[in-house]
Each structure stands twice: as structure tokens, then as C-alpha cells.
Amino acid sequence: MFQPTGQKRLTNVSVIRYKRGRKRFEIACYPSTVLSYRAGHLKDLSEVLQVDEVFENVSKGKVAASGDLRECFGTTDRAKIIRQILERGELQVSERERQYGLRNSLQEIANIIAAKTVSRATQRPIPVGLVYKALQEAHFSVQPTRSVKAQALEAIRLLQQHSELDLERARMRLRVHVPAQHDAKRLQERLVQIETDAAKKAKRGEVGSAAQVAAGASVRGGSDTSASLQMVQVESEEWLTGGALLWTLQIDPGWFRTLEQIVAEETHGSGTVEVISLRVLHEGDHLNDVL
Amino acid sequence: MATNAPDDADRPVDRPRPPGINTNRQAERRRAAPLSTTSSGSLESQRLQRVQQILTQRPERIRNICIVGHIDHGKTTLADWLLAANGFLSHRLVGKARYMDFREDEQQRGITMKSAGVTLWHQHRSSEGVDGVGDCAITLIDSPGHVDFAVEVSAAARLSDGALVVVDVVEGVCSQTRAVLRRALQESLRPVLVLNKLDRLALELHMTPDEAYAQLRCVLEDANAILGAYEAEMEIRRAEENALDASLSALGDALQLQENGVGPVSTTAEETCSKVQFFQPESGNVLFASAYDGWGFRVRDFARIGAARLGVAPQQLRDALWGDYCWHARRKHIVPLGEAVADKPRARPLFVQLVLENIWHVYRNFMEASAAAADGTLAVRDQIAARVGVAVPERDLHHRDARHALQSLMSRWLPLNRAVLDTVVEHVPSPLQALSARLEMLWPHTRKASPSALQQRAAMRHGDTTPESPLMMLVGKMFHIEASLVPPALRRQLEARAAVENHDADEDGADRPPGSLLALARVFCGSLNSTGNLWVYGPRYRADVGATHQAPYCYEMAGAALNVLLLNGRDFVPLTDSPTKSTARTAIAAGAVVAIAGLDACVLKTATVSSLAPGVCLPFAPLSDIGGARPVVRVALEPAARLSELPRLRRGLRLLSQADPAVETFVSESGELILGVSGELHLERCLTDLRETFARVEIKASSPMIAFRETVAGGVSITPQNPWVTSQRQLPKMRHGEESAAAAAAAAATHDDEEDANIASESDGMTDAEIVSREPAAAYPDAELLRGLRAGGAVMVPLPNEGIELAIRALPLPLALANGIEAAPLWVLRALFRGRGDRARSTTEWSPATKMLFAELCEAVRRDVFEVGERDAATEDAPSSDRDTASRTSILGSLLAQRTIDMGPHGVGPVWLLGPLCLQEHSAGEGDDEVMRLRDMLRAIFCGERPGATADIGVDMPPLPPAVRRSLISAFQLVAAAGPLCDEPLLGVALVVSTRQLPPSESTASGLSITLLAEALRKAFLAANPRLAEPVLRVEIHCSAEALGQVHSVLSATRARVLHERLKEHHITSMFVIHAYLPVHESFGFVDRVRRASSGAVADVQMRFDGRWQLLPQDPFWAPTTESEVEELGVEDGINAANNVARKLVEQVRVRKGQRVAHRLVERAEKQRTLARKK
């Protein structure tokens, strides 16, 4: 009789489905354990599996036929088949797992942002706790399918626009060495040219770039425009004997590839770009004055 | 019996009120407040006028004292009595109001937290042997007794000339008594001992007068022992310094050098105060008191009373009253106790007979008989009052509350305020007299001979307040007062000024915390001229350093901007009654302690205010030079609710650090706002201050982030959980062609942290799995060699494009070297190592200073590696001379320059990338043993080989092609900044790259990728037994011998490494000093734990970070695997990290960073309940 008392409900079960050779197989697991198993944190199968059996349909209690198993997996060894299904089957991620994953991702994003940015006013790092809070206040939502780093780069721009946290991308310090004098001159001219172009573009495209961000523009395009006003800051310029140029620069990290390319082109491969530090920070010991 | 007429003139009329036994303290205080301002209006104004007069014109009538002592020994109650005598509060409220505890939380907790000052007026009259001084202005600073607020005591002592040391006679001399008394002696204050709470001996302990006398003698001896110990220490130190001076004067040049420096601060101070005056009741610097009952006396007071009765000269009685003398009744003569004993068996000391018996008699009759028939008691009371000759109003004397009746009698008979203030006037020198002993300590320039120094010195010594003399003023501390206490006229002025100042600032007026910050300052010479300009010099200003002659170190301001206020209890009165006279010079008598408004913008904690320009003015010694505990508890703060409150929090922190001398605030390396305080109680108070006064936002305080470092222990990892080991196991399987999915899964498990490469983020499409699978794909001609290298932990990177193959190994650098580099200032390292950009530059071009530093570094390394460590016993007896050091320096320096490709993280640091360069070319020509030994040492450092080993890794190898070199450097920097364990920087690791020719092969060309190299470097790191290094603090604990055991048990529980423990130098009492290294991770709450465990016997805990790191011996990957381990420690499981500290720490960091950790959402899967959802 299909009445409440007559039903046998599946409690504490999460089903993993796996399709192979037009056949569907299922296994019954405990909820919130499969992802831990896949990550390798849970090794005891009895902690994962409700029933040591391969089913055709768990809710109906229909066990898969041995013939089907042999046909599809080439073996009837249940243990092997179950391992395979556990590794590759589809499952509904439980709420707790999802929550945990999202929180972890957000934390990671906050960490990446904190590592890549500095406070604009003080040129000092921003603590992760504040970034995390800023992300929450800016209503940043984590997308579980996209890479954390790409999301972090987007979130930086989001925070720059919508947060009280006055942050900017930390610049990297490079040393450019150009052995020949005329190469060096040409390189400098070209960089100045690019800079002015970018400045013009930025002036025109200020509205456009904001729209780009809103639409989730590509990482490169966005960072090029947003940081264009001061892409290259020259720290020191030293002309060595024989006309070689030793140049210490600070640049926006998103621009590194382009710069390296330009240097290689202009100097026909003889110039070198050396990374001195990935993150330029204001240095100083006692900081009461910063407060 | 002589009478001591009550001084009705300076006492407000008591209003009859039922005794407040259970009255609410707060309510009492509020009711008390109007009393001070309204009811005694005329007295008040008269007093104020006199005080103002004295403070401006009569420096010889000024006394500055502070009240110090152990917590709960009655300092604030004593202050209450003195205030009551000046009409600040009713006698009835004394001991309950705690008038000097202004703050709400001070009242609630019943302890003092801030020192607070008040200027009292006292009429000193002449008595036998002492001439009256007349009326005096006594500035009294009440200081806290809790150990957390020791800095407040120092600030108070700074401004005073004398100290009232309060000791509870029941508890005796306690730890804090010792500390504050020593502090007072260091500041050359004249101490006066107040033996307090004598009533407890009678009422609580039920002692007989004889027993009480013995107890008093004990306490007095203890107190004198501290003085004696201090004097003996000074004696020893002086002797040593004299010897040193003698040797110094032999070297004329050396002295010249010292002349230019700051000069020996402590020595000069100690030399001048040659003799410590001991506490002797007969000389009048000991008071016997009960602050609660309001009585107190010196021996002299009783001598006067007793002399009349016995018929001897008061002078004679005064000398004999304390000590082993007794009264020979038959001979009517004072005889020594020994003589009397032979005569009469039950002879009692005079003090018992004359003094204590009388007091005990009063207590007995009032307190113990009160239960008996009322009428009889009242009669006895009348009788006693008549005998002591004091007129006590009947309603007080016959009061139902016996204690009240007793107090009213005793406080009239032996008034506490008179005894205390008389003693102060007589024993504490006036500011100018005191300065002769204190000036050299306060102002460490007395030996300088420049004309301006002489001028300043003379002006201060004479307290010159003429217009010609320069103004010198010492700001001892800043304190915050509520808005309601600021005089209205001044408030308007301050507000107007603030409005002008903040006109362009982004803050709105409503945001500013209410009230204002005042400076507690002492004038030394000169006068405040409102037309001229003033300079405010911070503690870091140096007269001879030109760079400190500007804004952060000193500020210029108009003299008119300052307002001088009189400390008048809870409100502040302008010192000059005509603030409208804009051109007036405000002459303040030298030595006056006053509050100054208008300095809050430029004074952080302490400062020198002077009319002399920068460069000319020589500032007072900063407090930190003389001593004063450094903050030992640190927390990170952030706004609890909204980010927008961050600026307010920052501003609040700045104000807090201004208002509190013991607070330290700064921004940490990771950008956190750090608040450093001196104890848990202090922390609580600071947070309350921030929340309610300074920042007015909700605050979240947490333990600050701890930076860890990743390093290697050397050798090859074999722990199964290590990803490198796992990947090695997988290698043969892959050769057999097992399914690639398993390999992918394994690879995913291996490298669970994503690349952090900014550089490579876009271009690199290679996954970890590919890297893993590519490695064995290259055909090796020599399988044996490959296996050997693998077994040695080398990671092979074939670069077929360049025709070479890299073998990367990670080797540990000596931790001593790493620590040395970590601790050295950054610019030195830059100077040392960044110079190798062009190889032509050799060590000969280094400046001498750089060379010296490098030599020190080398020496430290040599010592640590060879003498302390047991790597090479042969070099232990190597003599070190300057020549040796120099040659060693140059060799090590040039070798470094040749072999090192790069250093990390960020260019310079304790992680080195060593390339395949020639070692041999250098040693030619220098063949002596020293060079050989150094070569061996370097080999030991760089190659991990034992000295004398023949194999020379890195010699005669194909050089790195420039492209590879560049990528390698970038990859190295990436890895050095974020290691594979938990993305923390590396420390003390040498990544050695060797190259070998690759036989030409037709394998597909593959691009050189930074990610690939970084991955290889990480693997090499993992292969060499990765370890976690944690920062350690150097802890210095001062404790008495009896607390040693408890301190050590706390130390071992916190994984601290004790360096040494010894008796304190120059210290006569049994104080021990323990030096230890304490992991930062365990340092939170450490001070509290130590203090609690030793029940307060720990006098002083100091922690500082000197850039030292300590290796955690555990392998962070280790987990119990064998059967016995599992049985003992628990199951093999990712979560069960409880028995592996390193692993626990790694996982904490990873969780904080959102990286993947072994985390199980469900503890017991089969026990999960389906939460009821109604269907």
C-alpha cells in the first residue's frame, strides 16, 4: 500500500550514477562523503558506501545483473567497479559540500587578491580579513566552475569600483638590460609612444571599460585599459660605459608579456628583462606615522 | 598628653548623613561631585588663588610626588584623604569615592589603571625642630599598582621628585612594591615609606601590640633590604665603571668618541645619588598609617605627645621611640632594652608601650565593646576622646556605627593628611634642589661643553624664568579627559582651532571623539611666551642629526596655541586667570607640574617642548632609554561591522597610542593593524577605550597572523604521504602503461596548489599531469645515473631545445646563516649581494662598513656551523684575528658572487639559487690552510658534502644558456616567495642546479616554461625532507627563586627552548633571569599564563623578535602508519594531525588561505540523520 507507513524511504543515501555502454549503474553512498573520497582525504570505503553493491536503480533496490557488469566493465569484481564509479560517476553535490567549497573558494580568492594588491594610499599590503569582508560587502559571488584566479582578477576590479578598500594592483619591479645604445633609444621611444596611445585610449574608453567589467570582460583587455595611465614607472636609468642601458622599471603585472616581447623585438633578442620582485611594497619599519 | 587641635580651616563642613555602609559607590561619587565645586566655594577660590600664586612665583614651595605601591595596598585611598583635606570630597566618602580613579571601568573594577594628577594646597606649620615652610603646592600623582600598567608608574615617576611608597603591613613587601621602589630609585626620587593598614593588624589578625611591632619591623627590614640591594648594586656597577673609565682615559681617542655620543645615562645618574637614604622612623621618612580610618603619624608626632607625659626632651624620645629601648619607670629614664631585661623581665619597647598600646586601646574599646551595652560604650568613648584631647562632635562619637565613631576620633587625633603632607614638605626636596641629583638622568647632556648646552644647563639648574632664558618643558604623558571637564572658554578655543585644522581633512566634526587630550608636563626653565614660536621635539629627535630636524621628529608651533592648566582634581583650571591678555608671558615656576592643552596634534607620548630651534635644543632623555616595559601582548584589529569604519579605527588607534604610554600601534608586514599592550587586563582596557572613546566602532580583535617559513632538512624524503614520494612510486607504473586517469588523479593529488605565477598565468597551458609524464619520456642513455640522481632527491628537467638537462637539488643552508641574513637589515644585504649585477665588481670595492657587517655575518656562521654544531670538530680551535676575518670575508664574498645566480625571496634573502659555475679558479694562489678550510666550509654549505669530499658538484659543467637562466630566476623567485607546503616563503634553502649535456635527440621541441621550472624546483624542495620553520621570540623572564619551577613548567608546555638561567647581575636578592626562545605561535596569552602560574612572582617578562627562526623537527607529512604507531597515536587519517605539530600548523595556514586541506565534512557518515522534512 502506498501509504506513509508502508513506504520504505531512503535516508542518509546519496546516489552516484554512471553510464557505460547504454547502461546506467548506480551505487548508494553516504551523503557528503564522496568529494572527500575523491580528494583523497577519506580512504576507508566503508565510510563512503552505504551498500557494497552495484545497482541498476538504487531507489527501487534493483541490483545490476552480472552479465551487464561484465559486458560494460569487462569484470564482475564489484570492488573494482565500485571504485571506478566512485571516481567518475555523476552525483548531486550536497549542500554542505557546496557551502564548504564556496567558502573555501572565496577565502582563496581573498588570499589571491591580498597577494596581488596593495593599498593605494600606503603602498602596503591589505590584510586578507579586510579583503574577505570587502568581497562580501561588494556582493561578490563565487562561480564554482571557473578558475579561482580568473575570478580573483575580476574581483580586484570590482573592488576598485565598489569598495571602500582603496586597492590597486601591486606593481612588479623589472630590470631591463639593453646592450646597444641605439636599441635602447628606440625601445624608450616606443614605450613612450605606447604609453601616450594608451592614455588617449583610456580617456576615450573610460565608459567602455566600465561596461566591459560589468559584462565580465576578458582578463587581459580589462587590465590593459585600467592600468594604462601609468603602465611603466621608471625607477632608475643608468647608462653604462659602452652605451648599454640598465633600466629599473615598475610595471603592472598584466603587461609583463607585452613588455618582454617589445624588448625582444627592438633589441633583436639581445636585451634582457629580469624580474627583481613580483610585488613592490613600501618599506619601512616603524609605522606609527602611517596610522 | 599634648593636644593636636583639628584643623578646621581647611575642612569642609560635614553634612550629617546616615553612614553609607551599603551605599552605591557610583551614587556616592555623583553626590560628592557638586561638593567640590559649589558648597565650599569661598575656600575653593582661596585655595586656587594660592596654588596659582605658588605655581607661578614660588618654586621653593612646590613639591612633586607620586604614590606608588603594590596593587590594593591603599594608594588611592591615601590620595582620597589628602584630597578630602583640600575639600575635594567629603570625609565621609573617603575610601569609597576613589576620587583619583576618574574612569568608569576603574571604579567598577576597583583598581587604578591610569595615573592621574592633582595639585594640593598645604599649610606647613613649624613644630619642634622644624621650621614651617608656609603654604605649599603639592602635586600628587596617583599611579596604578597592577603590573600591566607599570609604564604609567614610570611616567608618573618621571615628573616627580619624591615617592610615597605604600605598603600593606599585612601583606608586606610584594613583587610590585619591589619593582616600583626600584623604579623610584632609578629615577632618583626621594622615597617615603607609608606602612599602611595598621588597623588590619588589630582587627583582622588580632595581634597584640608586641606582635604588631614585630610585624612592622619585618616589613621595614624588607623595604630596607630593597634599598640596600639597590645600593650594593650601584656600588658594584660604579666600581666596574670606574675601572672602565680608567682604561678608557688611557685611550684618549676613545673618549673623544664617547663625548659625541649620547653619553652614559645611567652611570652619571647613579654617581650623583651616591647614598641611598634608608627608611628610618626616627629620621622621619616612615609613616605609620591606616588610610581607611584616616589616621597616620610619624614617630616624631608621638614623641611630642609622649614627651609631655614622660617628662623627657622630645628630641630624645624621638630618637629612642623606634628601636630597642624601653622606659625605666623607676629611674624615669630611657634605657636600652638589654639593660632593662636584666632589671625587669617584662620590659616592652617604647614604641609598643607608648604608641601601639594607645592605638590598640582605642580599637579595643571602640570595635570590640560595641556589641556590649550601649551606654557603657558611649561613656568609654567620651572618656577616650577626652584623654586624647580631641573635640569630636557627639553625633559622630556616639554614632551607631562603631567604625564611624572610631574614624571620626582617630582622624582628628592623628590626621593622616597632616602627617603625610608635612612629611612630603620636609622630606621631598623642592624641584630645584631635586634637580641637582636628577638633571643628569633626565637630561643626558650635562657633560657637553658647547655654549648652548651650558646655557640650557645653567637655566635649568637655576630654574631661570626670566624672559631671556629658554623654555624647557618635559611632557611626561598624554591623558584623555572628558569633554565636560574642559573649562568652557578653553573648550571653545580648542574647538575653533580643531575646526581650522580639519578644514581640509576629510573628517567631519561629529566623527571626532569627545573630550580632549592633555599633556602632563613639567616646566624646567623659561616662560611660555605667546608671541614667540615653540618647538616640540619627539623622542627620536637628535640634536646632532640634521635629518631629524623636521616634521615627524619635531614640530614648530605658535606659543599662543598652548594653554596651561592647573590640575584641580577632575576639572582643569587655567593657570593664569587672564587668558584674554594675548601678549602676556605666562611665567610658570620652574618645577611646576601642569596640564597643557593644545599639544595633542604633535606629541605622541612624551616630548620636549622648547623655545630653542632644532639643532640647538638638547632634548630630555626619552622614557624608553631609562627603562619601561615593552608591549608583550599583540593583537590584530579590524572593524567588526563595516569596512567603512576602517579610517575611524586607524584614527582611534593613533589617539589611543597617544593617550597611553604603554601602547604600541603599527601596521604589520601583512598589513594588519596591530595593537601591542602589556597584558590581558591592559588589552581589555584599551579595547574599551577604542570602542567607547577613541574610535567608537565595534572592533574585532584576533591573534595576528603568524608568518611561517618553509625549509628543508636535507636528505631524501621517504614519508609515504609526501607528494614527491607518491609521484616517485607512480613512475614505474606509468612506464607499464597503466591508465592515464589514475596518473592524472595522482598528479592532481600531488600538486594541489595552483601556480601563483603572474607571469605565466596566461600563456601556460601545461597541466601538472603533463609535466609528470614528460619526465620519464626523455630517453636516458644512462639509466643507472638517472636512478642514482633520483635516489639523491634530484629532479631532472630535460631541455632538449637547449641540448642540456638540469638536475635540481634542494639543500639546507645552515640555519645560523639563514637567521643571520633574515635578521640583517635589508639595505646591508642589498649592498652585499645586489652588487653582483655586474660581475666585475669585487669585494674590494665594498665600503669598510659593509665589510665589517659581512665579516660579522661570516663569523657568526663560522661559529654556529663549526663550533656549536658538530659538523667539523677540527676547526674548533681555529684562531680568529682581524686578518683572518678579512680574508675569509673576501673569499666567501667573491665565491658567493660567482656561484649564486639569484637570491630570494625578492632579490635578497635566505634562499639561494646556485648555478653551475667554476669553484676551482678562485683558490689558485691562496694555498694556506685557512683558504682550504673555507673552501670546505663553503662546500659544506653549498653542496651538502662533508669537508674534504672529492666530488665537486657544480664544477666544470656546461653553463646555463641565458634564456634558461632568466626563466630559472623567475621560477626561483616564484618558489622562494611561496613554497609548496602552505605558500609561505622559503628560508635557508639552497637550490642547486647542475647541468649536463644531453645527447642529441629527436624528441619534439618544447618551449621553456617558467611554470615547468617552478614545478621542478618545488619538487626538488619536497624531495629534500621539507620542514616548517616558525618564528621564535626571545623571552626574558625575571622571577624570584621560588617561582622558578612554575615558570619552567609553563616554558616547557609552550615548547620554549631555554637558553640560560642565572642569578641577576648586580642583584643581591635572589632574582633569576631566564632567557628562552618561545615560538610566536605559543606567545599569545603566554604572559598571562606565566604570571598566573607563578602567582605574580614573575616581575618582568620581555619579548622581542630578533629575526630568528626555529626548525620544527617533525615532518609535516608524517602520519602514524605502522601498527604500533596507529595503536598509540590514532588512526592513519588526514584529519588526525593532533600528534604532529608541524602538520597542524601547515593545515592552519592552508585553511586560512583557502587552500585544500584534508577535511572531512562528515565525521561519521553512517550516523548522519536525515533532518526531518515533513512529506
CB contact under 8 A, B670 and A39: no
Residue at grid coordinates 604600541: B664
Collapsed DSSP state (helix, strand, coil) of residue B306: helix
What is the Cα gyration radius of chain A? 28
CB B1160 within 8 A of CB A43: no
Q: Which of B727, B656, B647 is nearest to B687 (CA)?
A: B656
> Which distant-in-sequence residues (6+ apart) come within 8 Å of B1152 by Cβ?
A107, A111, A128, B705
CA angle B907–B816–B1027, rounded 5-degree value: 80
Interchain contact A47–B (C-beta under 8 A): yes
Contacts with A, B 810-869, CB within 8 Å:
826, 837-838
Please say if the pLDDT value at position A56 is more than 90: yes
Please say if the pLDDT value at position A126 is more than 80: yes
Q: How many CB pairs under 8 A join A and B?
A: 166
Total residues belonging to chain A: 291
Helices (H), B443-527: 451-462, 488-501
pLDDT in tens, B158-197: 889 999 999 998 888 877 888 888 888 888 889 999 999 9
Q: Which of B553, B653, B1151, B1160 to mutate to test the interface with A (most CBs of A within 10 A)?
A: B1160
> In which residue ranges of chain A is CATH 1.10.10.900 found?
95-169
Residue B1024, min C-alpha distance to chain A (Å)? 24
The percent of residues above 90 in pLDDT, for chain A, comes to: 20
Please tell me the predicted confidence (pLDDT) of residue B163: 92
What is the rounded distance in angstroms from the CA atom of residue B891 to the CA atom of residue B737?
52
CA max distance for chain B: 127
Total residues belonging to chain B: 1175
What secondary structure letter does DSSP report for B864? I
CB contact under 8 A, A287 and B666: yes
Residue B752: other Cβ atoms inside 10 A: 16
What is the Cα gyration radius of chain B? 37
Q: How many CA atoms lie within 13 A of B389 on its CB side?
A: 6
Please name the member of A33, A288, A290 whose beta carbon is closest to the beta carbon of B604. A288
Please name the member of A4, A124, A219 whose beta carbon is closest to the beta carbon of B671. A124
Contacts with B, A 170-229, CB within 8 Å:
172, 175, 219-220
CB B135 within 8 A of CB B53: no
Interchain contact B669–A (C-beta under 8 A): yes
| Alpha-carbon torsion angle A157, A162, A164, A168, nearest 10 | 10
What is the rounded distance in angstroms from the CA atom of residue B1094 to the CA atom of residue B1117?
37
Ranges in chain B, pLDDT < 50: 1-40, 253-274, 503-510, 578-583, 625-628, 733-781, 834-845, 864-890, 917-928, 930-931, 941-955, 1005, 1132, 1134-1135
The secondary structure of B743-793, three-state, reads: HHHHHHHHCCCCCCCCCCCCCCCCCHHHHHHHHHHCCCCCHHHHHHHHHCC
3-state helix, strand, coil in chain A (%, to 5): 45, 20, 35
What is the rounded distance in angstroms from the CA atom of residue B975 to the CA atom of residue B1015?
8
Interchain contact B1160–A (C-beta under 8 A): yes
Contacts with A, B 527-566, CB within 8 Å:
552
CB contact under 8 A, A104 and B1154: yes
> In which residue ranges of chain A is CATH 3.30.1250.10 found?
14-92
Q: How far is CA A158 from the centre of its chain?
A: 15
> Which distant-in-sequence residues (6+ apart) come within 8 Å of B1147 by Cβ?
B1137, B1157, B1158
What is the rounded distance in angstroms from the CA atom of residue B169 to the CA atom of residue B185?
21
DSSP secondary structure of B129-161:
TB---EEEEEEEEE---SGGGHHHHHHHHHH-S
Contacts with B, A 92-121, CB within 8 Å:
96-97, 100, 104-112, 114-116, 119
Please tell me the predicted confidence (pLDDT) of residue B194: 93
Please tell me the predicted confidence (pLDDT) of residue B524: 87
What is the chain A residue with the closest CA to B975? A278
What is the rounded distance in angstroms from the CA atom of residue B570 to the CA atom of residue B479?
12
Q: How far is CA B383 from the centre of its chain?
A: 57
CB contact under 8 A, B1160 and A36: yes
Please tell me the predicted confidence (pLDDT) of residue A182: 82
DSSP secondary structure of B1129-1152:
H----SS--TT-HHHHHHHHHHHH
CB B872 within 8 A of CB B866: yes
CATH number for A95-169 (one of 3.40.50.2300, 3.30.450.20, 1.10.10.900, 3.40.50.300): it is 1.10.10.900
Q: How is residue B281 written as a grid cell?
A: 622612623
What's the CATH architecture for A172-290? 2-Layer Sandwich (3.30)
Residues of A whose CB is below 8 A from B966 = 272-274
Residue A35, min C-alpha distance to chain B (Å)? 9
What are the residues facing B1074 on neighbouring strands? B1037, B1061
Contacts with B, A 56-95, CB within 8 Å:
87-88
Please tell me the predicted confidence (pLDDT) of residue A15: 92
> In which residue ranges of chain A is CATH 3.30.70.240 found?
172-290
Amino acid at B43: L
Q: Which of B215, B182, B227, B231 is nearest to B69 (CA)?
A: B182
Considering the entire predicted model, what is its pTM?
A: 0.66
For A83, the enclosing helix (H) or strand (E) is helix A78-88
> Which distant-in-sequence residues (6+ apart) come within 8 Å of B78 by Cβ?
B67, B164, B166, B194, B196, B289, B291, B416, B420
CB contact under 8 A, B1155 and A11: no
CB B1082 within 8 A of CB B1056: yes
Residues of A whose CB is below 8 A from B637 = none
Please tell me the predicted confidence (pLDDT) of residue B195: 93
Q: How many CA atoms lie within 13 A of A61 on its CB side?
A: 3
Please name the member of B657, B973, B1154 whose beta carbon is closest to the beta carbon of A111. B1154
Domain A14-92 has CATH 3.30.1250.10: yes
Please tell me the predicted confidence (pLDDT) of residue B24: 44
Interchain contact A51–B (C-beta under 8 A): no
Q: Which of B758, B834, B1168 to mutate to test the interface with A (most CBs of A within 10 A)?
A: B758
Interchain contact B1149–A (C-beta under 8 A): no
Please tell me the predicted confidence (pLDDT) of residue B1069: 59
CB contact under 8 A, A288 and B665: yes
What is the rounded distance in angstroms from the CA atom of residue B462 to the CA atom of residue B435?
9
What is the rounded distance in angstroms from the CA atom of residue B821 to the CA atom of residue B829?
7
Interchain contact A250–B (C-beta under 8 A): no
Q: Which of B1157, B745, B1159, B738 is nearest to A87 (CA)?
A: B745
Q: How is residue B548 written as a grid cell?
A: 631629524
